[in-house]
Structure formats: C-alpha cells, structure tokens
Structure 1
Amino acid sequence: MTRTRRLSLAVATAAVAALALAACSGGGSSNAEGTVTDGKLTIATGDPAYAPWVEDNEPQSGKGFEAAVAYAVAEEMGYAKSDVVWKRSTFDSAIAPGPKDWDLNLQQFSIDAKRKKAVDMSTAYYTTTQAVVTSGSSKAADATTVSALADDTIGVAAGSTSIQSVKDVLGVTPQVFNSNDDAVLALKSGQIDAIVTDLPTAFSMAATQVDDGTVSAQFPQDGKGDQFGFVLPKGSALTGKVDKALASLQSDGTLEQLETKWLSSATNTPVLK
C-alpha cells in the first residue's frame, strides 16, 4: 500500500470516527427522526413516580396527569401508544449536561433559564396553582368555597407566592411561618386550620407529612405559578415538534381536560368558588 493511500485511509477513518462521536455527544440521537431508537419515542420519568402525576408508578398505563400528557404529545407527534418506550431517571441527572438515553423527560420540571443552558425545555404543559392542605380532624377539612374558608386560620411559608394568593383569593391575612415544615407543625398542633401552598407541594405534603392529610381544594388558575415543561437533550431535533404538539393540545382543550380529570376529579380536589 502506498503512503498516499495509507494517508487517505487514515483520514477517512478519522472522519467516520468524528461523525460517530458527534452523534453520540448530541444527546444520543443518530437517526433521521432524532430519537434514540428508530421508530420509537423514549420518554423518561422518575422512579418512583407518584400520583397524581403517574398512577401506581406505572406510566405505561397512561393513568395520571403526566403519563396522560406524555401519550397525548406522542400521538400528536405521530407515535402510536405501542411506539412509546418508558425509562426512569433521577431528577438531577435529567437536567445535567451530557448525552441522554431518552428523548423526552417529564417529572414536574419548572421551566428555568438556567436549566435551558444544559438541556432543552419545551413550552409549558401545566402552570401550578395554589391549594389548601388540611387534616381530616380540622374544621377546614370540608371547606371547598372561599366563604367556607373565610373564618379559618391559614398558614403559609415565608417568601412564598401563597401569601399574596391567600390575600387576593380568600381576602384574609395568613399566618406566616419560616418554612412549610413549620406550618405543618402548626397544623398538627391545632395552631392553624389549613396550609396554602402550590399544588404539587400540597399533594406531597398531604401524603407524607400530615396525619390524615388531604388536599381539600385548589385555587382558580391565575397563570402566575411555575410552568412545567418537558426536558429534552440539548439541541434535540424534537424540541420544536413537542412545542407544536403542546400548542395543538392547548388549542383543542386536551390539556385542560386532562388537568381536570387527573388533578381535580381523580383527586377529589375541587376548584374554590
């Protein structure tokens, strides 16, 4: 073999290696669809994933708000339910820089400019609202209207948007505590009748911190809460497609219907009137 031919072969080999490396570094997608597996849409969520976002830790069932949203987006993008593959990931690894072994990830990621430096984020599929957490023994347990809560003592965490929401919606001044944990202690001791916090925190608090805890009601949407979006690998070819799918689902009322079904009806959490 001549020196020139050896040199040409070496250059060609290096070029192929460079292309392979570039494909790997771009989030793991190397086919024409921009997905990690040709013909499949790989979606990740947490492990475990909790209700009401995913029912019974089984996202493949399509039950739970985020599981249902994931399948609705997949369908808008042209994927059948059988073409959706589920994976699990931690929250922190999902928003860290670097290649991913999934195409989309959703586990209540707030859309954040800092996160967008490491990963892509879609437009919002949900905007958080405020909710009322109480216990079965509290006099606020059955309060599902603004007037019913008017005479109750409400606790909130310092620095939270809940403070102004309580003033605006309930027309009362809440008791302010250093943290949600302090507010929970006050609820347990009977110092307050209920706690107001954002809905995702409310579900977690009622399930894990408050004895006989319940999310008795949620505030009407005001559009001021945190917005949840899908996380995608940085520079994903799918980001625009996900945004287009979400715009369609927003326009035809699907997102609102899923929110009502899984975050209100299924959890028995009425909107305050």
Structure 2
Amino acid sequence: MVTTPRTLAFATAAAVLLAVSACTSQAQPAPMPTVSMGCTKDSLPTETAGKLTIATDEPARPPWFVDGKPANGQGFESAVAYAVAEQLGYARDDVTWTRVGSDSAIAPGPKDFDFGIDQFSISEERKQAVDFSAPYHLVRQTVIALKSSKIAGKTALAELRDARLGAQAGTTGHQAITDLVRPKAEPRTYKSHDEATKALRSGRIDGLVVDLPTAFLLTEAETDDAVIVGQLPQVGSPKAFGLLLEKDSPLTGCVSAAVGQLASEGVLNQLEEQWLAQEAGAPELT
C-alpha cells in the first residue's frame, strides 16, 4: 500500500481516536497525546488544500463570538478555533469561516467544512451521525439574579446560603444547589424552565441556577434586569462541548489531539477565564 498524506492522516486519526473514545458528555476528558507529525497543514486532507474551513451558525452570539464576527478571533469559541488551527499549523490567514445552521451541521451526511464550533453538546445519539473532538469546554452551572436581588454582586458560595434559590426539577442546577451551595432553606423546584424563569422575574426566589449558556441567553436577551452572579464549581456529569466533524472524518483524531494539547497546556482554561469569566462577567464563585 502506498503511503500518501491522506492515508497517513487516516492512520493518525485512528490511533488518536483510541485515546479519546472515552470522552463523552458523561465523563471528564481523557489525557490526550501531543499532536503528531501526521497532523500537519501539509498532510491533512482538508476541504481546501492548505486551508482550514470552520463553520458556525448565524448569528454568532456573545460571549462565544464578539460583534457577530467569528474571524476577528474574539470571544471564547472564536479564540478556541484559532488556537486549534495554530496547533495544526494553520496561520490566521489560512482559516476560512462559513455559516452553517446548527440543525444542518448535526444532520447526517457530507459536510462542506472541516469542523464546526457552535456549543455543540457531545452525546451518544449525535455521535451516530457526526464525529466530535475531545471536549474543549465542560459547562458549569451558574447563578443568575435580578439586579435588585440581595445576592447580586456576591462572590462566594457562603454568601448564598441565606438565599432562596431555585432550579428546574431533576436538573444539574438543582444538584448544584443541594451539593455545593447547601442553602439553609430547601431550594425551590419548578416543572419547567419557563416556570423557573417566572419565579425569578417575580421575585419569588433570590436566584436561579441554570447552565452557563442559558445564563447568558437569559441575562442578555430575555430578562433585561437579570445579571450573572457567578459560576459554581463543577458538579455531576457536566454537558461537554466538542468540535463537530463529518462522520468518520480523517481529521477527527488530529483535531482531538490539538484540543487535548491545548487542555494539557492550560490554554483552554486561560481562554475560559478571559472570555467567559472576565469579558462576559461570569466569575467563578469560590
């Protein structure tokens, strides 16, 4: 068999995928190998030779992107995408962005991009139709409150123990309240997200615990007078975001290895701190 860049990439991908097969939305990322010699700009069979095509949805919302412009490198997911590209040997000018709706991206079938980034949650069901990289972000539960709430501006878990907190029943948010905050009063539980949100808006609870993407959506687009108090420590089986690729893509292993390298070097944590905690105002509660 003649060895070509494409077959070398397939072999590299297969080897690395063995190391990442345990990475699902129900588990912490496994230790990742460094990016190998086969995972280079010259050897990867991308959509356009020498270029990396990255997809995201329209609009590209903050804090994942800034000003709706993925190519500016600002925002958490834009920064992650460029960091992965750099690990694979692609300069910023080698990266091309394309807009693909989330539903189209996760649907089975060929893709006209190399990988997509758009808060795609890794799940076994989705992995029947598409590939995922190792997780680049594990979603935290987050406390939000009205600006007038007594817990707005608090920075420590201990400062929340006298608060009336609520969450949707059966969610990781409810678990976070009971396991981490341990308030003096039993947390209020609600059958649906809408009921929980109404309780917050009406002042029946001091704070609502939801996942971080929902917290951004509620405070920026749905509730004018709500603010993020902060992110809670990790608890339970967190939702994991991964880069999305075509099913059985020869790029999957190399992209996963690049994500793993960024994780091991602390780069992903640095980007979370910069774009989610500092720039987006979602600090970690200690």
Answer yes or no: same fold by TM over 0.5. Answer: yes
SS in 1 for 2:159: helix
Question: Which one-letter code corresponds to 1:130 in the other structure?
Answer: Q
In 1, the alpha carbon distance for the partners of 2:145 and 2:174 equals 17
Residue 271 of structure 2 corresponds to residue 258 of structure 1: yes
Residue 59 of structure 2 corresponds to residue 40 of structure 1: no
Match of 1:50 in 2: 61
Match of 1:229 in 2: 242
Q: Deviations over 1:182-227 (max 9, x none)?
A: 1111111111111001111111111122232211111123473101
Contact 1:127 1:224 in 2 (8 A): no
In 2, the alpha carbon distance for the partners of 1:68 and 1:271 equals 20
In 2, the alpha carbon distance for the partners of 1:36 and 1:225 equals 32
Question: Which one-letter code corresponds to 2:189 in the other structure?
Answer: V
TM-score relative to the length of structure 2:
0.82
Shift of residue 134 of structure 1?
A: 1.1
Residue 226 of structure 2 corresponds to residue 247 of structure 1: no
- Which 4+ residue blocks in structure 1 deviate beyond 6 angstroms? none
Match of 1:157 in 2: 168
SS in 2 for 1:121: strand
Query: RCO greater where, 1 or 2, for CA within 8 Å and sep 6 or more?
Result: 2
Question: Which one-letter code corresponds to 1:168 in the other structure?
Answer: D
In 2, the alpha carbon distance for the partners of 1:165 and 1:156 equals 9
Q: Deviations over 1:204-263 (max 9, x none)?
A: 111122232211111123473101001001111110110110111011110110011111
Q: Deviations over 1:16-61 (max 9, x none)?
A: xxxxxxxxxxxxxxx9632111111000011001111111111101
Match of 1:182 in 2: 195
Q: How many pairs align?
A: 243
Match of 1:7 in 2: none
Question: Which one-letter code corresponds to 2:148 in the other structure?
Answer: S
SS in 2 for 1:57: coil
In 1, the alpha carbon distance for the partners of 2:196 and 2:235 equals 24
Question: After superposition, where does 1:83-102 map in structure 2 within 5 Å?
Answer: 83-102=94-113
Match of 1:72 among 72, 76, 83: 83
SS in 2 for 1:63: coil
Shift of residue 148 of structure 1?
A: 1.4
In 2, the alpha carbon distance for the partners of 1:254 and 1:32 equals 25
Shift of residue 178 of structure 1?
A: 1.1
Question: Which one-letter code corresponds to 1:266 in the other structure?
Answer: E
SS in 1 for 2:260: helix
In 2, the alpha carbon distance for the partners of 1:163 and 1:181 equals 15
Match of 2:223 in 1: 210
Q: 1:179 to 1:160 in 2, by over 3 A?
A: same
Match of 2:73 in 1: 62
Question: Which one-letter code corresponds to 2:211 in the other structure?
Answer: D
Shift of residue 74 of structure 1?
A: 0.3
Question: Which one-letter code corresponds to 1:196 in the other structure?
Answer: V
Q: Deviations over 1:118-163 (max 9, x none)?
A: 1111110000011011121112212221121111111101221111
In 2, the alpha carbon distance for the partners of 1:67 and 1:76 equals 14
In 1, the alpha carbon distance for the partners of 2:44 and 2:136 equals 23
Unaligned runs of 5+ in 1: 1-30
TM-score relative to the length of structure 1:
0.86
Question: After superposition, where does 1:93-132 map in structure 2 within 5 Å?
Answer: 93-132=104-143
Q: 1:223 to 1:254 in 2, by over 3 A?
A: farther
Match of 1:144 in 2: 155
- CA RMSD in angstroms comes to 1.4
Larger-gyration structure (1/2): 1
